Amino acid sequence: MEDLLSWDVPFHHLEAPQGLASRVEAVEKEGVRAWRVLFFQRPSDGAKEGPAVLGARVLPEPPGLPPLTLEGSTLAFAGWRLALLGLPHGLLLPAYRPLLDGASYPALGLTFPLGGARCYGLGERARGLERRGGRYWNLTADRFPRPGQDPLYQAHPLILCLRGARALGLLLDESAPSLFDLGFSHPGEGRVLALAPRLDLYLLEGEVLEVVRGLTLLTGRPLMPPLWALGYHQSRYSYMDEEALKEVFRRFQEEDLPLESLWLDIHYMEGYKVFTVSPHRFPHLRAVAEEMGAKGVRLVPIVDPGVKAEPGYPVYEEAKARGLLVQNERDEVLLGGVWPRPAAWPDFTREEARAFWAEKVRAFVEGFGFAGVWNDMNEPAVLELEGKEPPLKALPPGARHGGRLHLEVRNLYALGMAEATFRGLSALGRRPFILTRSGFPGIQRYAFAWTGDNASCFEDLALSIPMLLSLGLSGLPFAGADVGGFNEDATPELLTRWMWLGALYPFFRNHTALGTRRQEPYAFGEPWTGWMREALRFRYRLLPYLYALARQAHEDGLPLWRPLFAHFPQELEAYREDQFLLGEALMAAPVVRQGEAVREVWIPPGTWQDLFTGEVFAGPGLVQVPAPFSRLPLFQKAGTALPLAEPRYPTATARFPHLTFRLALGPEIRGRVYEDEGDGQEEGVWREVCGAFDGKRLHLFLEEPRERVMAEVLGMPRPLRIRGGVWREGRLLLDLGKGEVWARWA
């Protein structure tokens, strides 16, 4: 399949395809309206749905959408003109012709003038956020996310093209490999090619975040995570046995370091057989899970899709007997190797295989008292086929998934596996938690994602910012990179900076490779441990805010991390990639370079208050701020009330027993928390704080007041009068449990 990635697509041979059928309809899902345009050549494709957009309702007439017209083969929409074209069958690389039914269908694509547009999206890419000038295949691949490596583990065939503050959103709902060439083969043109005889497009237009919301909700609302998933996770490839695991647990307790879960990498299994545990390395795993569980620390095991093909191993025997495995071109079970050798792969495109897997997951997780599941190697990655590593570590393109070819559905492998895993975990009555490496639009319904095997260097620390921002813009709000870096050895400086950045990742896990130096937060001793403890405690203080953002992502599809341009599209500096917004209230400017003691920060328009020092900055403009290891440059927007908790860990409930709204004063002040049990299915409630500040008087009140909710103001002189609060050590503290409270400075 590597030939595909280097293929110089003969775009100049694209021609208007003959005899094409089309369907143009306005659709609605989760309150989002979009145009769907389906072009097809085989009659059977006319009634097709998905794979990402399921259950969209066709609207009788197209209300509330900019008009779309299709004339000949040109789509006109919101000032964009997209020409539909076909690449003649004979010009395709021969290996890919079977995707077009083996017959003579051309592959379908689009071309469109880019003008001055900026392009974003396409999920996980190891490069800057802006996609102009590059070409991108959507084809899941197990490759290190180092600069220049493309594609990576996930496939997200969608883009946002920005003209000023308006964005065009285009989602290609096809699982077959597709290419997005955004000014690479022709600087002024966008070109899309799908190796499929049909083209299923969704189009919408609006402000950036509206389009992000639309694209995300079309492919499905992000899951509502359990609160603990937002805590701190510690992993390593591998904690080799029970003793090693307990030692890490003990060190965290001794050092008073927050910890939510420990992760079990591949060595916990017996002979790399999924759903087994080694009786030698982990003889009492259930008891260990209980012991740690009593202190709130959970265990998350890795579950890879490769099933060891060993006679007598029940998972294999059953899957084989029931015909649930991917087959070769001779309709036999396809055998290859991954960690287990030989291995076979469940065919997750099939409902029976998903139901089978769901039940295995349920029994395994319940049996050992695990908290969730970590899916790796789910591109799927294959280490051996017929004695050697196959191209792109992929199954053969012609392998069979029922009536379909591997290449046609490869991009959906992780999605099917996650759906099955989610189902199995749901049966346990808790909110499922899954971490996935591979994905396709829709994966956000089931899983968090991490960006795979990065390296312990500042370059990869910095790269994680555009990578996570892009995943958020592409519909996947819950993501993180391996904190400290996976390959190679971390240094204490790198790890400390990364722990501070990780404290803001939607998913915060420290993980490293086999044979690398230890990088738990205590690994380097003082003064480093102390600084990392601060970062961790800060994460736990921030949890009410993160949880509210997670809930918002679940309700509205909006990402936790947002590029500055999403809120300030008219500002040139808002396109920088070393700063980002966490929700609307916070703007982060992490240190991304070695040896840096001062950080240059672009302050966006408006007033922003340093969360740690209370210093107030007026934007837009550049400032220099000190960047010690004991904190991270973080700024709160005027007019926001940021909910903070006492740093209690591990997590218990999202009805935080003590809440403090940190206020950044502005004419109007707003903030909110989402309160529920932090797990389970019971609906929670939003609780809002509102207020006003006219320069002399601050008034505040909390909807449905409750005990132990405070408001806190930094950086103001002592008020003349206070009602319902005190002035202490330079801070104004107001007790929001007391109805309306106020302070006056004149």
Which residues are the active-site residues?
A: 376, 379, 453
Least separation in angstroms between CB 498 and ligand MIG: 16
CA atoms within 13 A on the CB side of 357: 29
Least separation in angstroms between CB 274 and ligand MIG: 12
Burial 57-92 (b: 16+ CB within 10 A, else e): eeeeeeeebeebebeebebebbebebbbbbbebeeb
Residues 212-241 that bind ligand MIG (CB under 6 A): 237
Nearer to ligand MIG, 237 or 568 (CB): 237
Residues 426-445 that bind ligand MIG (CB under 6 A): 437
Task: Name which position in 174, 453, 520, 556 contacts ligand MIG (CB under 6 A).
Answer: 453
Nearer to ligand MIG, 10 or 147 (CB): 147
Least separation in angstroms between CB 466 and ligand MIG: 20
The two structure tokens encoding residue 738: 């007391």
Of 384, 415, 382, 443, the residue nearest 123 (C-alpha): 443
**460 is a contact residue toward ligand MIG (CB under 6 A):** no
Site string for ligand MIG, 465-504 (x = CB under 6 A): ----------------------------------------
**379 is a contact residue toward ligand MIG (CB under 6 A):** no
**156 is a contact residue toward ligand MIG (CB under 6 A):** no
**376 is a contact residue toward ligand MIG (CB under 6 A):** yes
**124 is a contact residue toward ligand MIG (CB under 6 A):** no
Least separation in angstroms between CB 306 and ligand MIG: 11
Task: Name which position in 20, 262, 266, 504 contacts ligand MIG (CB under 6 A).
Answer: 266
Greatest distance between any 2 Cα atoms in the chain? 86
The two structure tokens encoding residue 609: 């208050």
DSSP assignment of 340-360 equals: SSSEE-B-TTSHHHHHHHHHH
Least separation in angstroms between CB 723 and ligand MIG: 54
DSSP assignment of 500-554 equals: HHHTTSSSEEE---TTSPP-STTTT-TTHHHHHHHHHHHHHHTHHHHHHHHHHHH
Task: Name which position in 130, 260, 265, 379 contacts ligand MIG (CB under 6 A).
Answer: 265
Site string for ligand MIG, 507-546 (x = CB under 6 A): ----x-----------------------------------
| 703, β-bridge pairs | none
Q: Looking at beta carbons, which residue is closest to ligand MIG?
A: 237
Nearer to ligand MIG, 380 or 719 (CB): 380
**260 is a contact residue toward ligand MIG (CB under 6 A):** no
Chain length of the chain: 746
Least separation in angstroms between CB 452 and ligand MIG: 5
Site string for ligand MIG, 44-83 (x = CB under 6 A): ----------------------------------------
DSSP assignment of 619-661 equals: EEEEEEEE--TT---EEEETTEEEEEE---SS---SS-SSEEE
Residues 637-676 that bind ligand MIG (CB under 6 A): none
CA–CA distance, 317 with 313 (Å, rounded to integer): 6
- Hey, CA dihedral for 310, 312, 313, 317, is it positive or negative? positive
Nearer to ligand MIG, 216 or 451 (CB): 451
Least separation in angstroms between CB 437 and ligand MIG: 6
Of 416, 443, 478, the residue nearest 229 (C-alpha): 478
Find the DSSP H helices in 236-347: 242-254, 285-294, 314-321
Q: Side chain identity at 569, as an amino acid letter?
A: P
**302 is a contact residue toward ligand MIG (CB under 6 A):** yes
Instruction: List all residues 6 or more positions away from 120 whose beta carbon is below 8 Å from its beta carbon.
Output: 129, 130, 131, 159, 160, 161, 162, 470, 473, 563
DSSP H or E stretch at residue 118: strand 118-121
CA–CA distance, 487 with 128 (Å, rounded to integer): 21
Least separation in angstroms between CB 141 and ligand MIG: 12
Nearer to ligand MIG, 451 or 609 (CB): 451
Nearer to ligand MIG, 124 or 735 (CB): 124
DSSP assignment of 29-75 equals: ETTEEEEEEEEESSGGGGG---SSS-SPEEPSS-TTS--EEEETTEE
Binding site for ligand MIG (CB under 6 A): 237, 265-266, 302, 376, 437, 452-453, 511
